[in-house]
Amino acid sequence: MPKAQRKTMEVEAVKDEILDQAVQIMFEEGFEGLSMRKLASAMGMTAANIYNYYRSKDEIYLAIQKQGFELLHSLFAQVAGLDIPPVEKLRRMARVYVTFGLEEVAYYEVMFNRHGPKYADYKNTPMEPLALAEKMAALQVLGEAESVAGEVLAEIGGLEDKDVWQHLMQAWLLLHGYVALYNNRTLHEVEEQPAVLIESILNTLTGFAIHQR
């Protein structure tokens, strides 16, 4: 392996380690709790060394968001590419979303639950291009889901684009609510088998489409 290529791989490996550590800090302490000094301490590095990889905590935050949404999009795209009925795609995509939320807890919390800057906060600042790249990665996820929801509702007929969007938002709220309540263990206080509950939620999401045919 050429020396330059090996060096690039080593740099990328360190950058990934920094993101993994940063997401844990934000998971526990929020965006405001993240600092380059705190991150450097957790990494066993100097703050000056961290700056060799990322210019600011905002750049780290946006990189985490972008990486998380790109991963979720790749999982959605795999489902969308399957040669199966649209309603089954929708069901599997919903399951993928829930699995992502339950297995990648820290990333999910930072992406969807923890308070942090949004694209609008970075407009007209030097960070706007990175913030826009993160937003586009997030919109790709939503676009993949909207496309599959559109396929399902197209089979029903008589529905408009706004109906697709409305059903998609309702599905997202339902799935997000499940993931959030499961992860913070509130659901465990009121439901004996919280893991089994997801099946009835998936039936609710896909049952509408099936019954309307």
* Predicted local confidence at residue 158, as pLDDT: 60
Helix 86-103 × helix 57-80 angle, to 10°: 150
Q: How far apart are CA 44 and CA 114, in angstroms?
A: 26
Write the pLDDT tens digit of every residue in 2-46: 666 657 788 899 999 999 999 999 999 999 999 999 999 999 999
Residue type, 194: P
145: Cβ–Cβ under 8 A, 6 or more apart, which residues?
A: 76, 93, 168, 171, 172
Pinpoint the alpha helices (H) of the chain.
Answer: 3-29, 36-43, 47-50, 57-80, 86-103, 105-108, 119-122, 128-156, 161-183, 186-190, 194-211
Write the pLDDT tens digit of every residue in 144-195: 999 988 888 777 766 666 777 888 888 899 999 999 999 999 999 998 888 8
Q: Which residue has the tokens 């920094």?
A: 18
Write the pLDDT tens digit of every residue in 98-149: 999 999 999 999 999 888 999 999 999 999 999 999 999 999 999 999 998 8
Domains of the chain from N-terminus onward: 1-54 (1.10.10.60), 58-211 (1.10.357.10)
* Predicted local confidence at residue 50, as pLDDT: 93
